[in-house]
Structure 1
Amino acid sequence: MAARQIIKGIRGRILQLVIGMMLLILPVQAQALLGIGVTGKVGTTGLGADLTVPLIPNWINLRAGYNYGEWRPSTTQGGINYKADVRLETTPLLIDIHPFHGNFRITGGVYLNRTEIDLSSFVDANDVGLGDIFPPGTNVTLNANVSWSKDYAPYFGIGYGNAADANFLDLPIAVGLSIDLGAYYQGSPDVILTESTGTVTPANLAVEAAQLKEDLSEFKFFPVLTIGIHIRF
């Protein structure tokens, strides 16, 4: 009976010790979990925001974000009016590695790419059509939709800043500078071409679509250059 009470007392002491150690560790872990950074940025991908969570503090971070931008250029050449509606929309999911446990980072991951371009051109009846494929005396509107084959575009780049451990210029609040430089591979463009008269043969439209696709093929790699400010919570 006495031995049983002694064993019970030892178990109680061990339980108290374990609970005490957990209470000492939890504030440290909670502080690490609170190292979440939010970044606002601007660059070639438009306006964007990132959320950064530390996986291994001061070494590896997980970063997810959203970028959006619009651009509507227009021009007139040779009597033909060209308009474009460019919509940049991407959702990056990235891993940041800080090899020196500082601000320099190496980044890899994917961009969910929903970027599209709508193009339109108006050809007056008195002007020559693109590729001389339109019947004379006919006003023609040519429309094209351009997207890219890689919905999940692999990304690689380098950067500066650690949003999960920010202390820029020794300020009393956790604010820092964020820079990204890299590129994602979005593949070849997909082009859908239509025209308003219904008189152009599919073969001729295919020729024009192929030419446009070739002109846009240099954008298989999309350059990423952004700069922003991050805040750590």
Structure 2
Amino acid sequence: MSLELGTTGVGVHLSTPIAPQLDLRVGGNFLDYKHNTSTRGVDYDAKLRLQTFDLLLDYFPQANSVFRVSGGLVIDNNRLDATGQPQGAGTYTLNGTTYTLGSLSGRATFRSPSPYLGIGWGRATSARKGWSLTSDLGVIFQGNARTSLTANGCSPAAVCSTLASDLAAENQSLQDKLHNLRYFPVIRVGASYSF
């Protein structure tokens, strides 16, 4: 069993050997994180919810080594919820047009399951029982973010006819902003206990 902290949040993993140089590892990682971000026209208050569940195989190239090469699948429930902040008097600028809106909210989700590949240190079974250190360096290939934006309470009606196309352009800006997250970096350190 290992307790870890890293870019995927706080995690717990259980490992068991299934062959002399191969371990099966399962676990979960969780963390909520608040962040402010912006596109060309809108500032957002965002909440990133990290929630992943791992099913990994750890291969140890040398029989008595703690170095491992890991691969597997991640059930990826990572999600970003964003609330647009008005510029004043409830106005938002979307694709160069200023609208008065009651609210502007968005969400980004990612592909699940997602493949994982990485390296690390630590082993489910060792010659020495008790506590040891563990770590992971890898990548979750979660693909491009799927984003959606919702606007409520548009006025005046004369300019609201173009809201749908401008909202689509702002949604594309938000998706472009999250483009680098298609490869989610995994850096974890922790402590493990061998029974």
Say whether the fold is shared (TM-score over 0.5): yes
More helix by share: 1
Task: Determine if contact 1:94/1:109 at 8 Å carries over to the other structure.
Answer: yes
Identity of aligned residues (%): 31
Bigger-Rg structure (1/2): 1
The correspondence for 2:89, drawn from 105, 114, 125, is 125
Q: Distance in 2 between matches of 1:159 and 1:117?
A: 28
Structure of greater relative contact order (alpha carbons < 8 Å, 6+ residues apart): 2
TM-score by length of 2: 0.87
Q: Which of 179, 199, 211 is the aligned partner of 2:173?
A: 211
Unaligned runs of 5+ in 1: 1-37, 168-172
Moved over 4 A (4+): 75-81
Partner Cα distance (2:39, 2:89) in 1: 15
> Which one-letter code corresponds to 2:44 in the other structure?
Y
Aligned pair 1:159/2:92, yes or no? no
> Counterparts of 1:213 and 1:107 in 2: how far apart (Å)?
30
Using the alignment, how far apart are the partners of 1:78 and 1:214 within structure 2? 11
Equivalent residue, structure 2, for 1:187: 143
TM-score by length of 1: 0.74
Query: Is 1:226 aligned to 2:182, yes or no?
Result: no
CA contact (8 A) 1:166 1:176 kept: no
Gaps of 5+ in 2: 155-159
Q: Which residue of 2 aligns with 1:103?
A: 66
RMSD, aligned α-carbons: 2.3
The residue number in structure 1 matching 2:5 is: 42
Using the TM superposition, give the Cα deviation of residue 156 of structure 1 relative to its aligned residue in structure 2, in angstroms.
0.5
2: CA distance between counterparts of 1:231 and 1:84? 36
Residue equivalent to 2:14 = 51
Query: What amino acid does structure 1 have at the position aligned with 2:57?
Result: I
Counterpart-to-counterpart distance in 2, 1:114 and 1:166: 36
